[in-house]
Amino acid sequence: MFIKYRIIAGISACVLAIVCFAVFNVQKMYQHNKQLTADNKMLTAELKTLQENYRITEEAYKALSETQLQISTNKKVSVRKIKSSPKRHNAPIAPVLIQVLEVLP
């Protein structure tokens, strides 16, 4: 009879150890899951910020390209007007002005 109680006590101790180990692992996994959820929220916010920055940069680049094209077109028109103006409108500064306009990007 004494051996029977020792076997039951041993099995109970093993079951208790397994349950404690399982509880410990569940707590560990819960903490890890919490950390992953927090990281996910942070990374999602960072992604949204990066996407917004990319959108703003893309719009700025398009505006810059359009402005550069407009400046180039206006420069060509201005140089053409100066070169095609009558000689009586040319002052001594005209050649310098033409050179400056032609050098501009």
Question: For 45-86, how does the pLDDT look when each residue is reduced to its tens digit (9 = 90+)?
Answer: 999 999 999 999 999 999 999 998 888 888 777 777 777 766
CB-CB contact of 83 with 98 (8 Å) = yes
The total of other beta-carbon atoms located within 10 Å of residue 79's CB is 17
* pLDDT-above-90 percentage for the chain: 39
Residue 105: pLDDT band (50, 70, 90) is low
Put simply, whether the predicted model's pTM sits higher than 0.75 gets the answer no
